[in-house]
Chain A
Amino acid sequence: MSRDTLTGTRVRERRTILGLKQADLARSVGISASYLNLIEHNRRRIGGKLLLAIADALSVEPSVLSEGAEATLIATLREAASDQPDARAEIDRADEFAGRFPGWAGLLAEDRKRIDTLERTVATLTDRLTHDPHLAASLHEMLTNVTSIRSAASILAEPGEIEPEWHDRFVRNVNEDSARLAETSQALVKYLDSVDDATADIRAPQEEIDAVLARHGYHFNALEDPETDPVALAADLAAEQSAVARTMLAEVMTWMHNDACAVPLDTATDGLQTLGPEPFELATRWGVDPAVAMRRIAGLSQKLGQGAVGLAICDSSGSLIFRQPMEGFPLPRFGAGCPMLPLYQALGRPLFPIAVPVIPPLRDERRFRAFAFARPVGTWQPNRAPLSRAHMLVMPEQAPDPARSAVEIGVSCRICPRDGCPGRQEPSILTPGAVIGRLTL
């Protein structure tokens, strides 16, 4: 059952929660109780004025009734189901489950995220034990000290006399090396203790900085001041985060600061309020690169009353290096994202501005505007293709043009139901028989 056909179910649930009788609700919106009964059993579709009236009577936003659970919640449920295929969860009814039991669905989704975090913790700790440079350096130093002590002690312990000068020298060496060994051991224990503490809330560095950025609404007033030191600010804000996260945040805040210097707040405000969040027009007006305009819009749009927007930035490999999510538009988190995203289309066409309507698979009727732009970054080197970074700004489409078809996009292939998608890399758990695009190559 698709999500929009569950509107009646949501009406019934909401009415029951409020303790309203069917007849009372029907009367208040001017329809018969029997007609409401048909609606509540999803046997009559509703929309328009009647939907607005019922939503008003039930004190909810109409979208809560018409759209039900969040797209991201359903995506998480599908991922959870795909992780445990033996459980045989009814994947095709995830919408229905989330709509009927939003609390349970939320709990399941949260647990799934927790498992995901724990699995990454295990991977991170394993990686740390194997590749941690501090641990490796400490162990190397300890082994060096032990080797030195063992060699000198063996010489001292051998039967027979050695010259007093050599004797004294090796005794001194043993003393020095044992002191160093003690220091290294203590430092290592201290380090391992701190690692142990850190695992209480261990996350990938990208997640750590995502949390800091989200906490501040992806905008920092201090960075509007040209005198602010963005690196110092990042160090301050991420004092509790890992060193890697601090470094990554410093980079993000440095470009945020550069953007604010390139397009001062007054200029940005004037442009946004005059033209709205139109990245290519604003880039021309501000005399900056479209990527700068997209980042500036992402930081200020909501604050200036221009509505929420989402922003994704990826490097040449397609890995997301910045992710500002937006409600209703699920962006990929880890691993491969949907190759149909304009973000990746831009990567293949550097310096070509892209502006297309897009439809995520989980919002049957809701379209978004996506703007994408990629440009080379770094220094020019002979005979070397430059690295690129692609930006994609997304926002709800306010007045969809039905004559203009939208690009059908997904989150990742595994949980995307689209059949016949040319970008499909792996079968979907939702449509097991779907053709895999790359097999047709």
Chain B
Amino acid sequence: MGKTVLLIEDEPNIIEAIRFILKRDGWTVDTHSDGRDAVDVVRGKQPDVLILDVMLPGKSGYDILRELRADFSPEALPVLMLTARGQSKDREVATQIGANRFMSKPFANADVLDAVRALAGA
């Protein structure tokens, strides 16, 4: 069984595209769309890489990552944050709270794939 990626994103068509390119590359992809119980889902699955959207229903990606970083170091849980806001202050916030990588939408599939590979040390 290959390495696992957990994608937390609420837009179904983006989920479908990312899942397709990662699966094709040999990754096991789990998805989740709700911010409210996202922390519990991550704790339960303990993926090799977490792809986390910022704007989620119920709880923001920033809040989710803050909670996760209390238990998981950036090495133990590499996180790629996705956001539709590419402003430098958003990048700064993401870095401060412990995101390993930050990618603004719209992104290229190849960039997502490269980032996931790099974060998993693949």
Chain A residues with CB under 8 Å of chain B are: 139-140, 143-144, 146-148, 150-152, 154-155, 166, 169-170, 173, 176-177
Judging by beta carbons under 8 Å apart, are B106 and A147 in contact?
Answer: yes
Q: Is the interface of A mostly helix, strand, loop or mixed?
A: helix
Q: Which of A143, A152, A176 sits near B17, CB closer than 8 Å?
A: A152
Most chain-B Cβ atoms within 10 A of its Cβ — which of A139, A143, A170, A176?
A: A143
Closest to A174 in B: B13
**Given A140-B55, A146-B105, A147-B106: A155 and B20 within 8 A (CB)?**
yes
Chain B residues with CB under 8 Å of chain A are: 11, 13-14, 16-18, 20-21, 55, 84-85, 105-110
Chain A residues, Cβ within 8 Å of B14: 144, 147-148, 151
Cα–Cα, bound, A143→B90 (Å): 16
Judging by beta carbons under 8 Å apart, are B84 and A151 in contact?
Answer: no
A/B pair count, beta carbons within 8 Å: 54
Chain B residues, Cβ within 8 Å of A148: 11, 13-14, 17
Chain B residues, Cβ within 8 Å of A152: 13, 16-17
- Shortest Cβ gap from B49 to chain A (Å): 18
Judging by beta carbons under 8 Å apart, are B55 and A155 in contact?
Answer: no
Cα–Cα, bound, A155→B20 (Å): 9
Judging by beta carbons under 8 Å apart, are A144 and B109 in contact?
Answer: no
Judging by beta carbons under 8 Å apart, are A151 and B109 in contact?
Answer: yes
Judging by beta carbons under 8 Å apart, are B84 and A143 in contact?
Answer: yes
Chain B residues, Cβ within 8 Å of A147: 11, 14, 84, 105-107
Closest to A158 in B: B109
Judging by beta carbons under 8 Å apart, are B17 and A144 in contact?
Answer: no
Judging by beta carbons under 8 Å apart, are B13 and A176 in contact?
Answer: yes
Chain B residues, Cβ within 8 Å of A176: 13
Judging by beta carbons under 8 Å apart, are B105 and A173 in contact?
Answer: no
Judging by beta carbons under 8 Å apart, are A177 and B105 in contact?
Answer: no
Cα–Cα, bound, A173→B108 (Å): 17
Q: List 21 A-B contacts (CB under 8 A).
A: A139-B84, A143-B106, A144-B84, A144-B105, A146-B105, A146-B106, A147-B106, A148-B11, A148-B13, A150-B108, A151-B14, A151-B107, A151-B109, A152-B13, A152-B16, A154-B108, A154-B109, A155-B109, A166-B20, A170-B16, A177-B13
Q: Which of A139, A143, A154, A173 sits near B13, CB closer than 8 Å?
A: A173
- Shortest Cβ gap from B29 to chain A (Å): 14
- Shortest Cβ gap from B45 to chain A (Å): 23
Chain A residues, Cβ within 8 Å of B85: 140
Judging by beta carbons under 8 Å apart, are B106 and A150 in contact?
Answer: yes
Closest to B55 in A: A140
Judging by beta carbons under 8 Å apart, are A151 and B55 in contact?
Answer: no
- Shortest Cβ gap from A121 to chain B (Å): 25
- Shortest Cβ gap from A153 to chain B (Å): 9
Most chain-B Cβ atoms within 10 A of its Cβ — which of A151, A152, A155, A176?
A: A151
Q: Which of A144, A151, A169, A177 sits near B18, CB closer than 8 Å?
A: A151
